[in-house]
Amino acid sequence: MKLKDIPHYEQWNGFEGRIWKEEVNVRDFIQKNYKNYDGDESFLAGPTAATDKLWGALQKLQKEERAKGGVLDCETEVVSTLTSYGPGYIDESMKDLEKVVGLQTDKPLKRAFMPFGGIKMAVQAAENYGYTVNPELKRIFTEYTTTHNDAVFAAYTPEMRLARKTHIVTGLPDTYGRGRIVGDYRRVALYGIDYLIAAKQEDLLNCGCGNMYDDVIRQRQEISMQIKALNEMKQMAQAYGYDISQPAKNAHEACQWLYFGYLAAVKTQNGAAMSVGRISTFLDIYFTRDLENGVLTEEQAQEIIDHMVMKFRMVKFARIPSYNELFSGDPTWATLEVGGTGLDGRSMVTKTDFRFLHTLENMGPSPEPNLTVLYSPRLNESFKRYAAKVSVATSSIQYENDDVMKPVWGDDYSICCCVSATQTGKEIQFFGARANLGKALLYAFNGGFDEKHRIQCGPKTEPITSEYADFDEVMQKYDFWLDWIADIYVNVLNLIHYMHDKYYYEAAEMALIDTDVRRTFATGIAGFSHVIDSLSAIKYAKVKILRDAEGITTGFEVEGDFPKYGNDDDRADEIGVWLLKTFVEKVRRRHTYRNSTATTSILTITSNVVYGEATGAMPNGRPAWPPFSPGASPSYGAEQNGLLASLNSVAKIPYHWSLDGISNTQTINPDALGHSEEERVTNLVQVMDGYFSQGAHHLNVNVFGVEKLLDAQAHPEKEEYANFTIRVSGYAVKFIDLTKKQQDDVIARTCHKTL
Amino acid sequence: MPDIKGRISKLETFGLVDGPGVRFVAFTQGCRMRCKFCHNPETWKPDGEAEEWSAQDLFNRAYRYRNYWGKNGGITVSGGEPLVQVDFVAELFRLAKEKGVHTTLDTAGNPFTTEEPFYSSFCKLMEYTDLVMLDLKHMDAEAHRALTGRDNGNILEMARWLSDHGKPMWIRRVLVPGISDDPAELKRCREFIDSLKTVERVEILPYHTLATAKWEQLGIPYPLDGVPTPTAEQVKAAEDILCRD
């Protein structure tokens, strides 16, 4: 054994600190080197001619893509790996203009063939858009290998299949990649691949002490796969003429290196969420060094960021129709964070945080990357105002409360999906689906008989037979079904993640994460507001039960008034807090795969439509089958006292019981927000300050009127709607890319305006 | 009078056009005016559908939103006509000022009189009121009566009273084409405003038809049926006369 020399690279000249040189530790590098910026946006530069040209070309492609029904081109001959393609560009004739290069395939917006998650889905996705996968490939992946999907279904129990069929648990990652793993892509820029390989080789040497238990064997294999992936990343970059074995030497290279790391992830995984992570403060250190050295101008800095963001806007996967119903609008959750504060209290806002937000002005609104402001009322006023200004203009930004996340995740967390935090490079998530707690309540009434599929799902229990619902009886029976759903849900996920690790392991992403990784087990809740209002109706009013000939509930008549979630009424809101705490405790009690830490979320994405469709009439008077309200948002029409009452209701839900996130989406009419831009910005900042200072977790901010939505639905061809972006639960979409049903749902939601 | 109950038609937690900043707005029940353009006709009848609130409860409710108010927001009482329940509003505002909350009274001034018992109550209310938003719906007495069913003499008197007592005011005018947009009358209104010492802002509120459904629901024939909403040019022309600095 010998003492290791501290490595030094000339690419690190001018950087402070020591620990991050001795070990892979990007946070230490950031904290030792970043410079906070507390000025306003006046320094920002507009788009360069090259940016306009490339963005113009890309918009043309996006238009063609839409005209072709949503997919421009689809691979049918080549299996996507890190090295299966040579270089690809937005436009071959303009490739020298691209400051940041790299495509998932050989052509822009062409969707890769990714069979490892499931060959049936990969074939079906292609066929759905009129492409036929080479039969030989289909044969190989059917006869000679096992895919994730095959393995999961081979192991499912009959009860799991039933729960899946009735949609009491929906959105399971058994037909698509689980996602929610954010590689620390910054490592590629700071260290170069060779350093990272050396570190992983050392981990492999230190993995286990010779006794081959299954967890040691598995980890040894995984590290080897990671090292292989790192080597292939070098090859992948080589195809574009870049050698990424060494650290990046300037801001341009840092962006390019980092992007190659991300590209490796999206070439090998089609996860439901493929987040970019928290990169702005890190990259700013490089930009600042170059600007101070006089080797870069602000225009050039912005151009690099614009081009990088353009690439994030281009990430695509081939999806099957049932996936699109769940997650409408072709989202990839290339989530990217700006803002936030450090553990030492310093603001982490830099000029590059402004630059990322500015891409929404330079290239117009866009759903991706999913731009997320890590918000604190204590952030610089100038930054808060700029974010609010861009929000009002583009409705493309979401806000998450740094003050509640920082104590849990530290100051280097990334949002790994829509709204969920993980420590960058140190944690991953086992994510999956949501438990439909609304449907579970109906199972309590009907003894486990599914009101839609007309089959028994789960054990047969004594149904409720009284004419009027009795609160105590409902609560007692509901508790049993909450237990049942927590049990089956956790076990389905255990099975899925075991198989995902085995057959669809994320080697490229995990190569950029610590070997000794922490894992969270992220469950979720659907139907939150409807259960609260239903229980409130039973408790505070009289609820008459209507049944069909078989004794199954068909509707409920509510006699009298009852408090509803969304009005800042503690009587209703406390039911919500109870429901969350009860459910998460039932989840936590159970064994979760690989000793992961169980969490939960109140977050539905656009799947609120599908969950609603699967759920019969509920005791609050909600009729059968219309969409649920999304995430933790109150039920449509329940809010009687305006936006702030609604926000206060949501803010009461304790984040520490829902560490995977509490999503709230609100739409404000611009006229109601203020008379001038100045007033709108001031008011929006005040709303967020008020909301987040009460401990709320998340807010999607949309600023437009319902008239605009109706016009966009009627005239999607209008130029002004080509990039019209709206925030839905946890991500943003182009409104015209939503299904008709989902458009109607967005239109139907409460739009806050005052007469 | 701590026990006094108020009758409240509606609460809005996110009022942005009812005084400075973000405001909690309580709409009181009951108004004697019958303005043809009224957008809250459900608040006319004093015994109409409303919730009873004690001043303390209503203040506690409002105070939940203090985090959103920033430096300039606060509580606004609108209506209906808040001065119909002057003692209740006075008590509510007294509680607000105890906590340093900004208070705005949004009134049309119709109940104003210097006769007792109203006058003492009004003076007390003004002790706790930071800003009065006063509607001057028409300067011409006859036209005012035709438009609102009531005289405007005491309303103008109230404006003078506020001016004489140093109470900040925002003057507002609902602009109805052909009814309250005559340039000569607007000029007279502006001259009157110029005679007041405490007017901080003058606003034109363009007449809108969003409330016609409410009239229908209440079974009251809508008197302005067929009257168009003002164009941007008409609003601008009126602003040029009424709102010039």
Quick: pLDDT tens for A524-570: 999 999 999 999 999 999 999 999 999 999 999 999 999 999 999 99
pLDDT at residue A248, rounded to an integer:
98
B139 touches A: beta carbon within 8 Å? no
- Summarize the confidence of residues A670-684 as an average pLDDT: 89
User: What CA–CA distance (Å, rounded) separates A624 from A615?
Assistant: 6
Which residues are A547's β-sheet partners?
A553
Which of 196-215 (B) contact A at CB < 8 A?
210-211
Q: How far is A394 from chain B (nearest CA, A)?
A: 21
Tally of CB atoms within 10 A around A154: 9
pLDDT at residue B69, rounded to an integer:
95
**Angle at Cα A512 formed by Cα A507 and Cα A514, nearest 5°?**
100
Residue B203 per-residue DSSP state: E
Give the nearest chain B residue to A681 (CA atoms).
B21
For A494, the token pair is 């255990």
- Summarize the confidence of residues A585-591 as an average pLDDT: 97
A70 touches B: beta carbon within 8 Å? no
Give the nearest chain B residue to A678 (CA atoms).
B21
Give the nearest chain A residue to B10 (CA atoms).
A641
B57 touches A: beta carbon within 8 Å? no
Q: How far is A573 from chain B (nearest CA, A)?
A: 14
pLDDT at residue A1, rounded to an integer:
55
User: What CA–CA distance (Å, rounded) separates A270 from A319?
Assistant: 9
pLDDT at residue A751, rounded to an integer:
62
A392 touches B: beta carbon within 8 Å? no
Give the nearest chain B residue to A641 (CA atoms).
B12
A689 touches B: beta carbon within 8 Å? yes
Using the predicted structure, report yes or no on whether residue A733 has a pLDDT greater than 60: yes
In whole angstroms, what separates CA B36 from the centre of its chain?
15
Structure-token match 């001959």, residue found: A77
pLDDT digits (tens, 9 = 90+) for A429-459: 999 889 999 999 999 999 999 999 999 999 9
Structure-token match 């620990």, residue found: A19
From chain A, the residues in CB contact with B210 under 8 A are 755
Site from A375, A641, A703, A751 to mutate, B interface, most B CB atoms within 10 angstroms? A641
Q: Are A687 and B22 inside 8 Å of each other by CB?
A: yes
pLDDT digits (tens, 9 = 90+) for B75-99: 999 989 999 999 999 999 999 999 9
pTM: 0.94
Q: How far is A567 from chain B (nearest CA, A)?
A: 10
Contact A679, A617 (CB under 8 A): no
A597 touches B: beta carbon within 8 Å? no
For B139, the token pair is 């300067």
Contact B223, B34 (CB under 8 A): no
Residue A593 per-residue DSSP state: G
A751 touches B: beta carbon within 8 Å? no
Of B93, B94, B24, give the one whose Cα is nearest residue B63. B24
For A533, the token pair is 């209002």
Which residues are A543's β-sheet partners?
A558
pLDDT at residue A754, rounded to an integer:
43
From chain B, the residues in CB contact with A752 under 8 A are 14
Contact A524, A603 (CB under 8 A): yes
Percentage of chain A lying above the pLDDT 70 cut: 99
CA distances from B30 to A679, B8, B44, B115 (A): 32, 9, 5, 20
Mean pLDDT estimate for chain A: 95
Give the nearest chain A residue to B26 (CA atoms).
A641
Please provide the DSSP assignment of A287-327 as one string.
HHHHHHTTS--HHHHHHHHHHHHHHHTT------HHHHHHS
Side by side, the strands of the sheet bearing A398-401 are: A336-339, A371-375, A398-401, A698-703, A665-668, A751-752
Structure-token match 């409410």, residue found: B214
Using the predicted structure, report yes or no on whether residue A618 has a pLDDT greater than 50: yes
Of B142, B73, B143, give the one whose Cα is nearest residue B104. B73
| Helix segments in A522-642, DSSP class H | 528-540, 570-588, 608-613
Q: Which residues of A519-530 are buried (b: 16+ CB within 10 A; e: fewer)?
A: bbbbbbbbbbbb
- Summarize the confidence of residues A660-687 as an average pLDDT: 90
In whole angstroms, what separates CA B66 from the centre of its chain?
22
Q: How far is B67 from chain A (nearest CA, A)?
A: 4
pLDDT digits (tens, 9 = 90+) for A90-118: 999 999 999 999 999 999 999 999 999 99
Question: Among A165-179, A198-212, A284-298, A716-730, where is mean pLDDT lowest?
Answer: A716-730
B22 touches A: beta carbon within 8 Å? yes
Please provide the DSSP assignment of A329-376 as one string.
T------EEEE-B-TTS-B---HHHHHHHHHHHHS---S-S-EEEEE-
- Summarize the confidence of residues A50-56 as an average pLDDT: 98
The pLDDT-based confidence of A755 (bands split at 50, 70, 90) is very low
From chain B, the residues in CB contact with A642 under 8 A are 11-15
For A427, the token pair is 């944690």
A669 touches B: beta carbon within 8 Å? no
User: What CA–CA distance (Å, rounded) separates A593 from A155?
Assistant: 15
pLDDT digits (tens, 9 = 90+) for B126-160: 999 999 999 999 999 999 999 999 999 999 999 99
Using the predicted structure, report yes or no on whether residue A2 has a pLDDT greater than 90: no
From chain B, the residues in CB contact with A640 under 8 A are 11
From chain B, the residues in CB contact with A682 under 8 A are 21, 70
From chain A, the residues in CB contact with B67 under 8 A are 689-691, 693-694
Using the predicted structure, report yes or no on whether residue B180 has a pLDDT greater than 60: yes
Catalytic residues of A: 417-418
Using the predicted structure, report yes or no on whether residue B1 has a pLDDT greater than 60: no
Q: Are B22 and A644 inside 8 Å of each other by CB?
A: yes
Q: How far is B68 from chain A (nearest CA, A)?
A: 4
Structure-token match 């507390």, residue found: A38
Give the nearest chain A residue to B19 (CA atoms).
A674
Please list the helix, strand and coil fractions of chain B in percent, rounded to the nearest 5, in that order: 40, 20, 40
pLDDT digits (tens, 9 = 90+) for A326-369: 788 888 999 999 999 999 999 999 999 999 999 999 999 999 99
pLDDT at residue A214, rounded to an integer:
94
Residues contacting A169, CB < 8 A, separation 6+: A163, A433, A434, A435, A436, A485, A488, A489, A492
Contact A691, A651 (CB under 8 A): yes
From chain B, the residues in CB contact with A675 under 8 A are 17
Side by side, the strands of the sheet bearing B169-175 are: B51-54, B5-15, B23-28, B74-78, B102-107, B131-135, B169-175, B199-206
- Summarize the confidence of residues A296-312 as an average pLDDT: 98
User: What CA–CA distance (Å, rounded) separates A192 from A201?
Assistant: 15
Which of 632-651 (A) contact B at CB < 8 A?
640-645, 648
Nearest Cβ partner for B67 among A694, A754, A755: A694
Classify strands A371-375 and A398-401 as parallel, antiparallel or unpaired.
Answer: parallel
Site from B68, B106, B235 to mutate, A interface, most A CB atoms within 10 angstroms? B68
Nearest Cβ partner for B16 among A640, A691, A754: A754
In whole angstroms, what separates CA B106 from the centre of its chain?
3
Please provide the DSSP assignment of B150-162 as one string.
S-SHHHHHHHHHH
User: What CA–CA distance (Å, rounded) separates B200 from B245?
Assistant: 10
Percentage of chain A lying above the pLDDT 90 cut: 85
Using the predicted structure, report yes or no on whether residue A677 has a pLDDT greater than 60: yes
Give the nearest chain A residue to B27 (CA atoms).
A641
Report which secondary-structure segment, H or E, holds B19: none
Site from B10, B13, B18, B63 to mutate, A interface, most A CB atoms within 10 angstroms? B13
- Residue B82: burial class (beta carbons within 10 Å; 0-12, 13-18, 19+): buried
pLDDT at residue A379, rounded to an integer:
97
From chain B, the residues in CB contact with A694 under 8 A are 67
The pLDDT-based confidence of A667 (bands split at 50, 70, 90) is confident
**Angle at Cα B84 formed by Cα B83 and Cα B86, nearest 5°?**
50
pLDDT digits (tens, 9 = 90+) for A78-91: 999 999 999 999 99
Return left, alpha or beta for A246; rule: phi > 0 is left, psi -120 to 50 is alpha, else beta: beta
For B6, the token pair is 């108020």
Nearest Cβ partner for B210 among A640, A752, A755: A755
Residue A675 per-residue DSSP state: S
For A49, the token pair is 């001619």
Contact A353, A281 (CB under 8 A): yes
pLDDT at residue B199, rounded to an integer:
97
